[in-house]
Amino acid sequence: MRTQGTVDRRSLLKVAGSSLAALGLTAAGCGTGSGSGDGTVTIRYTWWGSDDRAKRINRSIALFEKKFPKIKVKTDFQPYADFWKKFNTQASGGNAPDVFQNAIGFLRKYDAKNVLLDLREQAEAGNLRLDGFRAGLEKFGEVDGRLLGIPVGSNSMALVVDQAVFTQAGVTPKPGWTWDEYHAALARIQQSQGRAGDAGPYGIMYLYDLYLRQQGKAFFTTSGLGFTEADLTDWWTKAYERVRSGVYADPKKTIQAKPKSAVTAGLAGSEFTWDNFAVRYTAEGKSTYGLAPIPTTDGRKTGQYLGSLMLSASKRTEHPKEVAQFIDFMVHDPEVGRIMGYDRGVPATEAQFQAYVPTDEVGKQIAAYEKQLVESRVLEPITPHPAGADVCEAAFLRLAEEMSLGERPVADAVKQYFTEAKTALSS
């Protein structure tokens, strides 16, 4: 689930991984798993992420191999963009890894390419537990009745704020605040603190989806876009005006500040991103950062849902039982929960959620934020993501940036977006 005028999407997609050798990893070989004469089988597991995620995952795998000595796991990881480039090549050649980290925007895409294993049969055989998940997350990986992914963690969109800036401006966001109140707060920050109120939310596909959902629409339907050119024209026209007024940060300065975010670079007081990304601000900036609620249209409906990374399996795997046992272990084992923490979001299962209790202030805020979302009953089913959603997201970010920089008029950016999106969704 990039994802921007935030810890921006492009920067996140370029999180670097170290050499496999430095971490004691074995590069994925050919074929979808292998076996040996003594009954030991080997499965391949790949993911995207940072060096820290790799270390945590490999500690978890060591526990798995100790419990299941007849199953060995070969590993490989890449930065986000490189991962999907390599995975697409592997999948196209019939050589997808046995197990891999996945996201909602890719389920229908690779289901349509006949890549994903329906895990329902393994669940029914007792090799994969579907109970014990938080807030209905067990259904997160379902597509048309097939179980194509198992969630490993949850997150939701939030507004990350520089707490000192908001306090000095006398702004206290509360659940149910409206978009008008949000923009009034940004103007107050600009006037009193001499910086933009927000980095600029106009290129964040998942935030625009929430805005649309608040109005009974959505970014996607099961087969295409769920909004009109007039809708997007209104969104980007107002955004362009706010960039020019200084309520949203100067996009040129935001780009120059990378890899820092506009908030930690002192250019803006807030920006929208996934709640579990909040840990990055503390590591990157010098202020104190917190999570604020999503603004609403009517004072109640946020349009939010719990998103999640997930584990999927290859339809060509020679070891579906062992793959299911591995996935089950990675999402249910309490010790894995303690090892992974909130690296992939708040743990998806109750067992891992209870096993890891954050002691740091940011972790506590993330847990409290999602607890409030569940208890306030604002969460809804996730918007369907058709095949091509990943291409739509990249185009939305790119064209929004060009619009904000004045390189494309709003009308031209909107028309170009619909052209590119319709092509992606029909291919």
| Domains annotated on the chain, with CATH | 15-154+315-363 (3.40.190.10)
**Residue that the structure tokens 């007792």 belong to:** 126
Instruction: For residue 35, list its beta bridge partners.
Output: 41
For residue 153, CA distances in Å to 136, 165, 308, 315 come to 12, 31, 5, 23
* Distance separating alpha carbons of residues 411 and 237, to the nearest angstrom: 9
Q: Please give the chain's pLDDT, 427 residues, in tens.
A: 433 333 444 444 333 333 333 333 333 334 466 666 688 999 999 999 888 899 999 999 999 999 999 999 999 999 888 999 999 999 999 999 999 999 988 999 999 999 999 999 999 999 999 999 987 788 889 998 999 999 999 999 999 999 999 999 999 999 999 999 999 999 999 999 999 999 999 999 999 999 999 999 999 997 799 999 999 999 999 999 999 999 999 999 999 998 889 999 999 999 999 998 888 888 888 999 999 999 999 999 999 998 889 999 999 999 999 999 999 999 999 999 999 998 888 999 999 999 999 998 888 999 999 989 989 999 998 877 898 998 999 999 999 999 999 999 999 999 999 999 999 998 7
pLDDT for 9: 42
d(CA 40, CA 34): 9
Q: How many CB atoms lie within 10 A of CB 401?
A: 22
Tell me if the pTM is above 0.75. Answer: yes
Query: What is the per-residue pLDDT for 50?
Result: 82
Check residue 139 and give its pLDDT. 85
Residue 149 token pair: 């992914």
Instruction: Please give the distance of CA 85 from its chain centroid, rounded to a whole number.
Output: 18
> Residues 6 or more apart from 4 whose CB is under 8 A from it?
199, 201, 203, 204, 207, 271, 272, 273, 397
Q: What are the DSSP E strand ranges found in 132-196?
A: 142-143, 146-147, 150-151, 153-154, 157-162
Cα–Cα distance, 127 to 91 (Å, whole number): 25
Model pLDDT, residue 25:
37
Q: For position 383, what pLDDT does the model report?
A: 77
Residue 41: predicted pLDDT: 97
Looking at residue 32, its pLDDT comes to 60
